[in-house]
Amino acid sequence: MSQLIVVGVDGSPQSVVAARWAAREAARRGTAVQLVHVWTRHARGARDVQMRGATVQRAAMDGRGVLEIATALVRQDVPQADVREQLIDGIPARQLVESAAEAAMIVLGARGHGGFASLLLGSTSQRVAAHAPCPVVVVGQDAERPPTGRIVLGLNVHKASAAALEFAFSMAARTAAELHVIYGWAVDDTYARFSKGSAFNLDELREQERQALSDVLDPWIAKAPQVNVVQLALDATADAALVAASAEADLLVLSARRARTGPRHLGPVVHSALRHATCPVAVVPEEL
């Protein structure tokens, strides 16, 4: 897999924000950012062959214009960026997933128009996040706010994702950010998992969960001592804790666990974060 960062652009302000975010990350990595616009040749409402041909030609021209404008805006914000353009005919979600096969990361704006999703979890965003073989970062307008110097990783210590841990530690090291690792556990879920109906001591349970988080993180901290890690095992639901933490973060990192075969779906925590988080969200695939 290359280090190329792919960005879906559709002419919307959100896609430009995503492209700028991706260009800054590409510059830090010393790699290129590729702006991809997907257009379709299926002309709606065209009554004859000649009209359909003209509509297709116009769509392709408009796509080239979208790429040229996005490139100019990205280079204005990140002059050192190596920006490339790609115009593709096809179905947006499918083409972006195919592009991701040769990328280190794919970046999408939280809201768009045209061939891209008009809602945060529209068909394109949802399908790309669920199927792309590389991390997918969904970027909202809040990505333009002043940086906080903090990255948040959501972690389930009982199903810890090595891919998400590697991504989060690498991003924190690259940006000199503080890494907050949040393990949200609800007492009812823990009770059902461990106590099996017997009485339990809540203070002891909290200490067990803190220790479980520490046990998972210790080897990663040893490998990346330059990263300042804050460990938070919270008696709270994971989605609520992560959405709250996103208000003070530059990036929220989550894992998407996938079966090798069969349908792929984003879990409820990822869905909630993509809908409600106020910082960019990275969805990192983890094959089961």
Same domain for 136 and 187, yes or no, is: no
pTM: 0.87
Q: Which residue range forms the structural domain that includes residue 117?
A: 5-142
- Residue 142 and residue 249: Cα distance in Å, rounded? 10
**Which residues, 6+ apart, have CB-to-CB distance to 133 below 8 Å?**
1, 97, 100, 101, 285
> For 25-51, b where at least 16 C-beta lie within 10 A, e where not — what string?
bbbebebbbbbbbbbbeebeeeeeeee
- Residue 201 and residue 268: Cα distance in Å, rounded? 29
- Residue 123 and residue 22: Cα distance in Å, rounded? 22
Please count the residues of the chain.
288
Per the structure, the count of domains in the chain is 2
Domain termination site, one of 142, 161, 177: 142
CATH code (residue 164): 3.40.50.12370
Instruction: For residue 10, give the amino acid letter.
Output: D
- Residue 24 and residue 177: Cα distance in Å, rounded? 15
- For 185-211, give the secondary structure using H, E and C: ECHHHHHHHHHCCCCCCHHHHHHHHHH
The strand pair at 178-185 and 150-154 is best described as: parallel
Would you give the DSSP letter of residue 103?
A: -
Same domain for 158 and 269, yes or no, is: yes
Same domain for 133 and 174, yes or no, is: no
Domain termination site, one of 142, 169, 186: 142
Same domain for 247 and 198, yes or no, is: yes
Exposed (0-12), middle (13-18) or buried (19+): which is 223, by Cβ within 10 Å?
exposed
Same domain for 197 and 257, yes or no, is: yes
Same domain for 158 and 192, yes or no, is: yes
Start-to-end C-alpha separation, the chain: 20
Same domain for 123 and 176, yes or no, is: no
Would you give the DSSP letter of residue 147?
A: P
Domain termination site, one of 101, 123, 142: 142
pLDDT of residue 83: 96
Same domain for 79 and 138, yes or no, is: yes
Helices (H) and strands (E) in the chain, counts: 9, 10
Same domain for 105 and 170, yes or no, is: no
Q: At what angle do helices 162-175 and 202-223 cross, to 10 degrees?
A: 60
pLDDT of residue 45: 45
Q: How many CA atoms lie within 13 Å of 114's alpha carbon, on the beta-carbon side?
A: 20
Same domain for 102 and 171, yes or no, is: no
Same domain for 17 and 129, yes or no, is: yes
Tokens 């790429």 sit on residue: 67
Same domain for 138 and 208, yes or no, is: no
Distance of CA 240 to CAs 60, 200, 243, 266, 269, Å? 43, 24, 5, 17, 9
At 224, list the tokens.
Answer: 């990346």
For each successive 10 residues of the chain (288 residues), what is the average pLDDT?
Answer: 86 91 95 92 48 63 91 95 93 88 90 44 73 92 87 95 97 97 78 56 87 97 97 93 95 85 74 90 87
CATH code (residue 63): 3.40.50.620
Tokens 């970046």 sit on residue: 107
Q: 3-state DSSP call for residue 77?
A: helix
